[in-house]
Amino acid sequence: MAIFDSIFEVLLFQRLDLLLVGIAIAAIGLLGVVIYINKPHSASNKAFMMFALVTVLWSIVNYVNYKVTSPELVLWLLRALIFLGVYHAFTFFHLFYVYPLESKKYPRVYTRVLIPIVVATSLWTLTPFVFSGIDVIAKDGSVSKTIVAPGIVLFLAVILFLIGSGLYQLIRKMIAARGGRSPYVIIFVGTVITFSLLIAFNIILPAVFLNVRYIPFGALFILPFAACMALAIYRHDLFNLKVTATSTLVFALAIANLAIITLVDDVLILAFSLGAFVLVLAAGILLIRGVMREIEQRQIIEKQEKELEVSNQQQENLIHFISHEVKGYLATNAAVFSAIVEGDLGKVEPRLGDTAHSALSETRRGADLVKDILEAANLKKGTVHFDKKELDFAGAVSTAVEFLRSEAQEKGLALTYDAPSSGSFVIVGDEQKLRDHVIRNIIDNSIRYTPHGSVRVMLTRSAGWVRLTVVDTGVGITTEDMAKLFQPGSPGKDSIKVNVHSTGYGLFIAKSVIDAHGGKIWATSEGAGKGSRFVVELPVASTVSRPVV
């Protein structure tokens, strides 16, 4: 006992008793707040927050009670202490009653019997029927003994029942958990440590050795249980690196302020330091809440991204399945209509022949649409194979212009091609994809969206790049349409009025092919009705690698 007394005198001299209690209170409070904020709708988290809050209040009153010397104030602080003790025992029981459930439906005996008994007992402790007055006052003016009334029996009975029932709930759930005992073992260890400390320093020492000096350290003795309980509730989610770092910083700042309090004697400085301590804790709680919300939002975003990825994959698989099926039907129909038009099934009436010819055109257009959808889906997935070889880009452009010239003439448009007079226009690329999906697509688009006027095709070379430019006097491109021009399945709002068969996949495919060749594609327009300019740039053969992609 002499060793304990010597240690206590040193701590008291250095005012470390206040610092230790303050550390315990701050730690318990922060644990309660962090656990609650992490999942505020959880019954277990709410129960732990209630326990932490009552523990903080009980610890403050317990510490102050053993520091004041006024008999009247001591009496009321003692009553307040056991008043909070009732709720301390109740929150202890309640915590084990609901843990580890997310939600809990309480029976009538809990809400209509137990809770009223707890409330009535807590009010009973504030009356003279429990502590009626002060009996002995020491020479230094401090209270050394109080008058205990018979009414304390009700308080002790309720307290022992609540604590015993809480321990029973813990042991029962720990046995029933079998393979999942780990969190219950953690709680059990924390409970044993806390009760061992409380029994040793708050019961045995005061009752047997008449030493009450360690009673103010009640918060420090409860800290092991609170820490183990917090660890058990969220042993995975709680210890996110960012949350842990933020909580540690807040805790360190709070303790630094508390350390200052223990070193000052001036009342004004002490009041200021206490205010700073409270503000640091409040600001820290808000900071931790913000960090945890950020983490929660990130987790939600990651979950949504995964769900979206799965949904996109399912959508693409469905598109492939439907497209292949439709493509098969269209191919069969096209073969039948072609046989009728070509006379393979014998001579037919002119009206039937015209109908078959029209149906054949529409069927082929439908097949091209399905082909574009499949191509776009494959490009998005990155499963398209590019057979890259050296090719004369100027020759490919010239061939495309001549192929589309009849279409322009049918609309009365002037289609011109400014062919280069000299220079090499050899590039490395997939000739079929560049010709069909890029060159023809862009020129064909200009023809389709130009009701009257002209379409001009130009090919130039500069600084290691070949540039294809297609300028038309057509409907132009609005600012709204320009923003989604190269997105899949996004035909322009006004373009559908001119080309009812627009799918919105052509330019997306063109851009994807150009990107795969290390090139660039863009469009400009002064607005609706003022024509448009499409530009494609591709690196010449000497500036690109040549392996097949």
Comparing 253 with 389, the larger pLDDT belongs to 389
Q: Are residues 472 and 494 in the same domain?
A: yes
Q: Are residues 410 and 523 in the same domain?
A: yes
Residue 316 belongs to some domain of the structure:
no
Rounded distance between C-alpha atoms, residue 446 and residue 475, angstroms: 9
Comparing 141 with 317, the larger pLDDT belongs to 317
Mean pLDDT on 384-395: 88
Q: What residues contact residue 369 under an 8 Å CB cut-off, 6+ apart?
A: 501, 503
Q: Are residues 372 and 396 in the same domain?
A: no
Contacts 24+ apart (CB under 8 A), 224-227: 224/190, 224/193, 224/194, 224/197, 225/187, 225/190, 225/191, 225/193, 225/194, 226/27, 226/28, 226/31, 226/32, 226/51, 226/52, 226/55, 226/190, 227/27, 227/31, 227/190
Q: What is the residue-wise DSSP string for 52-96?
A: HHHHHHHHHHHHHHTT---HHHHHHHHHHHHHHHHHHHHHHHHHH
Q: What angle do CA 159, 161, 162 make, to 5 degrees?
A: 65
At residue 296, the 3 state secondary structure works out as: helix
Query: How many beta carbons lie within 10 A of that of residue 194, not counting itself?
Result: 21
Q: Are residues 375 and 394 in the same domain?
A: no
Residue 186 belongs to some domain of the structure:
yes
167: CATH = 1.20.1070
Choose the final residue of a domain: 195, 212, 241: 241
Distance of CA 309 to the CA centre of its chain: 16
Share of the chain above pLDDT 70, in %: 74
Rounded distance between C-alpha atoms, residue 52 and residue 34, angstroms: 11
Comparing 332 with 420, the larger pLDDT belongs to 420
Beta bridge partners of 429: 389
Structure-block tokens of residue 549: 């992609």
Beta bridge partners of 467: 460, 537
Is it the case that residue 235 has pLDDT exceeding 70?
Answer: no
Is it the case that residue 225 has pLDDT exceeding 50?
Answer: yes
β-strands 454-462, 465-472: how paired? antiparallel
Model pLDDT for residues 25-76, shown as the tens digit of each residue: 888 888 888 788 778 888 988 998 999 999 989 988 888 887 777 788 888 8
Choose the final residue of a domain: 222, 241, 260: 241
Residue 304 belongs to some domain of the structure:
no
Q: Are residues 351 and 407 in the same domain?
A: no
- 334: domain range? 321-381
Q: Are residues 352 and 404 in the same domain?
A: no
Model pLDDT for residues 117-150, shown as the tens digit of each residue: 999 999 999 999 988 887 655 555 455 567 788 8
Q: Are residues 226 and 145 in the same domain?
A: yes
Comparing 181 with 9, the larger pLDDT belongs to 181
- pLDDT for residue 296: 75
Is it the case that residue 1 has pLDDT exceeding 60?
Answer: no
Comparing 37 with 103, the larger pLDDT belongs to 103
Mean pLDDT on 443-455: 91
Structure-block tokens of residue 51: 């326990």
Mean pLDDT on 80-109: 92
Q: For residue 167, what are the CA distances in angstroms to 46, 114, 173, 192, 223?
A: 19, 17, 10, 10, 17
Nearest to 538 by CA among 496, 510, 505: 510
Buried b (16+ CB within 10 A) or exposed e, 312-324: eeeeeeebeeebe
Residue 264 belongs to some domain of the structure:
no
Domain total in the chain = 3
Share of the chain above pLDDT 90, in %: 26
Residue 375 belongs to some domain of the structure:
yes
Is it the case that residue 158 has pLDDT exceeding 90?
Answer: yes
Residue appearing with tokens 């038309």: 472
Q: Are residues 414 and 364 in the same domain?
A: no
Q: Are residues 354 and 400 in the same domain?
A: no
Q: Are residues 100 and 136 in the same domain?
A: yes
Q: Are residues 101 and 207 in the same domain?
A: yes
- pLDDT for residue 393: 93
- pLDDT for residue 98: 93
Residue 471 belongs to some domain of the structure:
yes
Q: What angle do CA 341, 343, 348 make, to 5 degrees?
A: 80
Is it the case that residue 435 has pLDDT exceeding 60?
Answer: yes
Mean pLDDT on 271-275: 72
Structure-block tokens of residue 269: 């400085």
Structure-block tokens of residue 257: 């302020």
Query: Per-residue confidence at 258, pLDDT binned at 50, 70, 90?
Result: low
520: CATH = 3.30.565.10
Residue 540: DSSP 8-state: B
Residue 210 belongs to some domain of the structure:
yes
Query: How many beta carbons lie within 10 A of that of residue 71, not counting itself?
Result: 15
Comparing 466 with 276, the larger pLDDT belongs to 466
Residue 84 belongs to some domain of the structure:
yes
- pLDDT for residue 544: 47
Choose the final residue of a domain: 241, 260, 288: 241
Dihedral angle computed from the Cα positions of residues 93, 97, 99 and 105, in that order, rounded to the nearest 10 degrees: -140
Q: Are residues 421 and 362 in the same domain?
A: no
Structure-block tokens of residue 539: 């690196």
Rounded distance between C-alpha atoms, residue 95 and residue 23, angstroms: 23
